Structure 1
Amino acid sequence: MAAVGVTGGREALDKLSQHSVDVVVLDVRMPGMDGLEVLQEIKKRWPLVEVILLTGHASVESGLQGMELRAFDYVMKPCKLTELLPKIEQAYERKCPREKARQ
């Protein structure tokens, strides 16, 4: 499993169009496209990709809205890597059987 970082939503979508990606960790607040817009585009173009949203205390509502838009989960910032890694693994484990079923 490899991780790739990007600086914004449009760059994330570009990376997704160039590479096979299983799980995206996405900040709700980003310059340009916000995380919810990127989430909607990901689910439209790559419905099997799982998305975990990072949200601040002031934007819990955004995390819940992301769940309605089919995000796998959301995590409050700041978060520890020990909290985030298990969620990434769970998202990956959820994606794999669904992807095999589509083949």
Structure 2
Amino acid sequence: MKGIRVLLVDDEIDFSRVLSRRLEKRGMCVSTASCASEAMETLRLEEMDVVLLDVRMPGRDGVRLLGEIKRLYPQVAVLMLTAHINSDIVISCLAMGACDYLLKPTDVEEIEGKISDAAVRRNKGPFGKA
């Protein structure tokens, strides 16, 4: 799905740089943020279809940020991304409105597929355009 607007939120700058380039090569429009405050500022200024959100970040972690995003921007699809799986956190994030959960390292094709699926669901959901 071309033209999907993705916000990648991860404090690992090298990871963000590589992944954003790979997603852009697949036709997605990618913005990056390295912390919760940058992510919220980007969402305030730009409409996004999907947020790819790291669970563990310094300061406000991804779980807290997920809650803020869903409260202020309920139409945005959020995919959680982490290197450390914890079933309680997964269940909590899904209950808070995350679309899915990806474990690092993840194949870029799998990430692309999950982003596309989330964008389609976003556009067909109660807040979507369809």
Q: Per residue, is there more strand in 1 or in 2?
A: 2
Q: Per residue, is there more helix in 1 or in 2?
A: 1
1:48 to 75, 80, 101: 75
The answer on whether the counterparts of 2:50 and 2:76 sit within 8 Å (CA) in structure 1 is yes
Q: Which stretch shifts more, 57-66 or 39-48?
A: 57-66
Q: 2: CA distance between counterparts of 1:58 and 1:90?
A: 22
The answer on whether the counterparts of 1:55 and 1:63 sit within 8 Å (CA) in structure 2 is no
What residue in structure 2 maps to residue 100 of structure 1?
Answer: 129
Deviations along 1:30-77, one digit per CA (max 9) or x if unpaired, are 111100111000100010100000122343432221101110000111
Identity of aligned residues (%): 37
Deviations along 1:77-102, one digit per CA (max 9) or x if unpaired, are 1111111110000000011123226x
What residue in structure 2 maps to residue 90 of structure 1?
Answer: 117
The residue type equivalent to 2:34 in the other structure is T
Gaps (5+ residues) in structure 2?
A: 4-28
| Secondary structure in structure 1 of the residue aligned to 2:101 | strand
The answer on whether the counterparts of 1:55 and 1:62 sit within 8 Å (CA) in structure 2 is no
Measured after TM superposition, the shift of residue 11 of structure 1 is 0.7
TM normalised by structure 1 equals 0.90
The residue type equivalent to 1:62 in the other structure is I
Aligned length: 101
- Please provide the CA RMSD for this pair: 1.3
What residue in structure 1 maps to residue 66 of structure 2?
Answer: 39
The residue type equivalent to 1:36 in the other structure is V
The answer on whether the counterparts of 2:85 and 2:103 sit within 8 Å (CA) in structure 1 is no
The residue type equivalent to 2:70 in the other structure is K
Gaps (5+ residues) in structure 1?
A: none
